[in-house]
Structure 1
Amino acid sequence: MKKIMTLALSAAILLTAAGCGTNEKTPAASTGATETTKASIAPSKDPVKLRIAWWGGQSRHDYTLKVIEMYKAINPNVTIEAEYAPFDDYWKKLAPQAAANSLPDIIQMDISYLTQYGGRNQLADLKPFIDSGALNTTDISPNALSGGEVGGKLVAMNLGVNALSMTTDVETIKSLGLTAPANDWTWDDYEALAAKAKEKGKQIGGFAFHHEVFFPYYLRTLDQKMFSADGSTLGYTDDKPFIDYFNRYQKWYDAGYFLSLDKESQKKGVAEEDEIILGNSLGSTGWSNQFLAVANLSKTPLELVPLPGRNGSKGLFLKPSMYFAVSESSKQKEEAAKFISFFVNDIEANKLIKGDRGVPVSSKVKEALKPILSANEVKIFDYVAWADKNSSPGDPPNPIGAVEIEKLLRDTSEKILYKKITVEEAAVKFRKEANAILEKNKK
């Protein structure tokens, strides 16, 4: 699980990590190939070499490699080289590859970076491969597809949907005489639980340097947005939400409810490092798909609850958990699209994938998986189904410059927590510098 609390000098995740889906409708051409068209796509017999890159923990690496072997078994002419790393290291490696025009053929993509790579024509348009039948989207809704659109092009294939959540160790919480959070809990409830946990020698887990995820959630609960509709400025002009958010967080950090920044800086964000698994925390915040890796390692049953806060249904949204994209520089675009099609549609492959990359977008796959889900996987599917009924439409993909702003926000939050700047000063400074970044990237 990519933890929310991970200190990162590059693109952060724990959560990244990280972003929102768009509500634009996918053009009719993107709704899927016909059965006749799909049947006409015969496997190529020519030698094909593909590179594929993704981020994640060991469990994701293991099953993805197995899925690759499954694909190669029915496509013996295809050779696939795998490149994978933890989230932060992944983006550090990808950036110079993009600059050298040597990106892998298939790239796992995050919504925070979708506009940056797609808007600079580094990702191929997948619509022609849907039209040809190489990429089958017959059982995928237009709304699920539209989350991968940038500038009218489908530059990434949504692999699944998830929602912000909090993982809680309910059994340990109750054993300490505390009350487990309910779906309608507030920020005050969160603070009260954190204070009682601290008295029992436990932490509650927090947002740390993933404020780029949770500050926009907080803004949404106030009917505000992180970015304006055209992406040219921040979406808010009043600094009060920033001040209220960070004043509260600084209070919690000073009280010791969360891991210190120096300890966070040593983490890679994999599930094995989660403070719940280490026995130090009663909960952690993240995306619903990150629950599985931690829950499977836990000695006690874990549960999913929504984030706290009034108007949580306004803040909560269904997010494309991650994507597969094809690099524009790839010389094997159609073959790359065929692998992605296999990944999202093959039922046997998805018996390995299950909910790790989000609840599957294929209705046929989702239905086929129901009878074989583990108890922890059922919790993810049920939570996303609940979130679907208790959320609001997501925001468009972040504008170009958003990754730079995310780093600015992390740097700013660090200065706040280390008392190098007041929250009020930070609010003004952040807004001014963030707007300058967005203005620069619009030119």
Structure 2
Amino acid sequence: MNRTTRLAAALAAATVSAIALSACSPAGAPAGGDGAASGEDVTIRFAWWGSDARQKNTQAAIDAFEAANPGITVEAEFGDWAGYWDRLATQTAGGNTPDVMQMSDAYLAEYAGRGVLLPLGDQSEIDQSNLDTGGVAAGEVDGTLYALQAGANYPAVLANPALFEAAGIEMPDDKTWTWDDYLATAEKLSKAGVGAVGTDSIIGDPVTNAWLAQQGKSLFTADGKVGFSKGDLTGYFQLVSDLSTSGAAPAASVITEQMVLSPDQWGIATGKSAMGFAWSNLLTTIEGALGSPLTLLRLPADTDAKATGEYLRGAMYYSVASTSKHPAEAAKLVDFLLNDPAAGDALLAERGLPLNTEIRVGIADKVSEPEQRLIAFTTDNADAFGAAPPVPAVGGGTYDQVIQRGVSDVLFGKADPATASANVHQELTDLLAAAG
């Protein structure tokens, strides 16, 4: 039984428990008493995945929360990515879901749809006044807020200024350039004889969602369906083909190899490509591998685009269990992690950019130089950031692998761009149907 199957089985059992519990609780209210609000000492559990650095930073934030909230004790549960999800599914099936949990958009619709998560929109303990509104909307499933971004990133083009200078090519104006401009610039860089191709290819996100957003579409809809038509990715796959056949991007074999390489081995990270696409939180890793700074650029957009394609994607989220015995205290912890300067100083940008715009500015001189540039980009381009697309529908969490199969088929001549677009649409449709 694979992890997706185990997750579905475990959450189905959790749904039965949640339904039974709701029969004993007031309508719309989670089970549990007033806890610390009535003077009672309470303990809540907070689970997350991540590195040792994340564990250290998060524990510092927990310590600050406990100091500010006498009577509330937070028990920490943490581990690696794979083990986290297996354990969370098992805990949920057993009626033992942590009060506060770190959530991924890959599983958000699944957990929310099965009644595991507490709606956060009406939780008075969580102050949303300084939270980025576009980022807040990213935690909604079918119009209900179930998660708030613990950290955010955004799609960007990374450009190597040293290679542009060596090629005698000016850095493009990223507020006006189109996809045709991108292709033309990449071709010029490849022909300049500087020992690098113009760009890494497009191998999936962060471009796919942005491409569809520019057309007024999305991979998935808010109510859990495929959000685009079978021909809407034809231009996307045509660009993939044009970049490769023109020599602007590496050969097909190199592109497909990159799909399984870590970011520090991509062409943009090794100086073999002058440009590349990445989620913003990878800037530090890629620059570290390259050994020199890169320039952050907005994604190209055609003149008739309905959006820029820039948005804040939740690198991860905070959610509260619907079965928490202490929902008010759990919500207080989420509020503290998002809004309190002490938590901001402890967490910095390790999970991504803070959702609270004031905290984001407040830590700007405390984070690394690349992270300072990431924060400055959101300020300098505030007008470009739109609403995030709906989170992956139940069954659609592996969409990037589906897109990459389409890319491989186009590059190796197994499908033309229109066929690849139709195939991706059909495969995603089938995945959602099987999960439903």
**TM-score if structure 2 supplies the norm length?**
0.73
Q: Deviations over 1:134-177 (max 9, x none)?
A: x4445436654333222454311123444321122213321343
Letter in 2 for 1:283: M
Where 1:403 maps in the other structure, the secondary structure is coil
Whether 1:252 and 2:243 are equivalent positions in the alignment is yes
Whether 1:305 and 2:301 are equivalent positions in the alignment is no
Other-structure match for 1:110: 104
Where 1:349 maps in the other structure, the secondary structure is helix
Please give the alpha-carbon distance, in whole angstroms, between the structure 2 residues aligned to 1:166 and 1:151.
Answer: 31
Other-structure match for 1:146: 137
256, 277, 289: which one aligns with 1:285: 277
Letter in 1 for 2:215: L
User: In 2 relative to 1, CA 283–233 (structure 1 residues): closer, same or farther, beyond 3 Å?
Assistant: closer
333, 338, 347: which one aligns with 2:341: 347
Whether 1:82 and 2:78 are equivalent positions in the alignment is yes
Please give the alpha-carbon distance, in whole angstroms, between the structure 2 residues aligned to 1:44 and 1:197.
Answer: 66
Whether 1:430 and 2:416 are equivalent positions in the alignment is no
Where 2:48 maps in the other structure, the secondary structure is strand
Whether 1:173 and 2:164 are equivalent positions in the alignment is yes
Letter in 2 for 1:195: E
Please give the alpha-carbon distance, in whole angstroms, between the structure 2 residues aligned to 1:148 and 1:159.
Answer: 10
Whether 1:155 and 2:146 are equivalent positions in the alignment is yes
Write the mapping of 1:8-19 to structure 2, written as runs, cut at 5 A: none
Letter in 2 for 1:82: F
Deviation at residue 93 of structure 1 after TM alignment:
5.1
Q: Deviations over 1:372-394 (max 9, x none)?
A: 45543332223212433124444
Please give the alpha-carbon distance, in whole angstroms, between the structure 1 residues aligned to 2:83 and 2:241.
Answer: 30
CA contact (8 A) 1:53 1:104 kept: no
Other-structure match for 1:315: 308
Other-structure match for 1:390: 384
Paired positions, count: 390
CA contact (8 A) 1:63 1:352 kept: no
Where 1:359 maps in the other structure, the secondary structure is coil
CA contact (8 A) 2:349 2:371 kept: yes
CA contact (8 A) 2:166 2:194 kept: no
Identity among equivalent pairs (%): 20
Q: Deviations over 1:336-363 (max 9, x none)?
A: 5444333212323323543454432224
**TM-score if structure 1 supplies the norm length?**
0.72
Indicate the larger mover: 161-170 or 93-102: 93-102
Please give the alpha-carbon distance, in whole angstroms, between the structure 2 residues aligned to 1:317 and 1:249.
Answer: 20
CA contact (8 A) 1:227 1:236 kept: no
Whether 1:377 and 2:371 are equivalent positions in the alignment is yes
User: In 2 relative to 1, CA 104–46 (structure 1 residues): closer, same or farther, beyond 3 Å?
Assistant: closer
Please give the alpha-carbon distance, in whole angstroms, between the structure 2 residues aligned to 1:346 and 1:299.
Answer: 35
Where 1:425 maps in the other structure, the secondary structure is helix
Where 2:229 maps in the other structure, the secondary structure is coil
Whether 1:399 and 2:393 are equivalent positions in the alignment is yes
Where 2:381 maps in the other structure, the secondary structure is helix
Please give the alpha-carbon distance, in whole angstroms, between the structure 2 residues aligned to 1:91 and 1:282.
Answer: 37
CA contact (8 A) 1:70 1:349 kept: yes
Other-structure match for 1:119: 113
Q: Deviations over 1:186-240 (max 9, x none)?
A: 22332233334444322444454425x4233223333444345754444225x2x
Deviation at residue 305 of structure 1 after TM alignment:
0.5
Write the mapping of 1:1-150 to structure 2, written as runs, cut at 5 A: 45=41, 49-54=45-50, 61-72=52-63, 75=66, 77-85=73-81, 97=90, 106-127=100-121, 130-131=123-124, 133=125, 135-140=126-131, 144-150=135-141
Other-structure match for 2:212: 219
Letter in 2 for 1:109: M
Letter in 2 for 1:319: L
Whether 1:411 and 2:397 are equivalent positions in the alignment is no
Please list every run of 5 or more consecutive structure 1 residues that lacks an aligned counterpart in the other structure: 1-9, 12-39
Other-structure match for 1:365: 359
Please give the alpha-carbon distance, in whole angstroms, between the structure 2 residues aligned to 1:261 and 1:107.
Answer: 36
CA contact (8 A) 1:234 1:431 kept: no
Letter in 2 for 1:369: I
Other-structure match for 1:420: 414
User: In 2 relative to 1, CA 413–100 (structure 1 residues): closer, same or farther, beyond 3 Å?
Assistant: farther
Where 2:299 maps in the other structure, the secondary structure is coil
Letter in 2 for 1:111: D
Greater radius of gyration (CA): 2
Deviation at residue 306 of structure 1 after TM alignment:
0.6
Please give the alpha-carbon distance, in whole angstroms, between the structure 1 residues aligned to 2:367 and 2:237.
Answer: 39
Please list every run of 5 or more consecutive structure 2 residues that lacks an aligned counterpart in the other structure: 5-35, 68-72
Other-structure match for 1:264: 258
Letter in 2 for 1:52: W
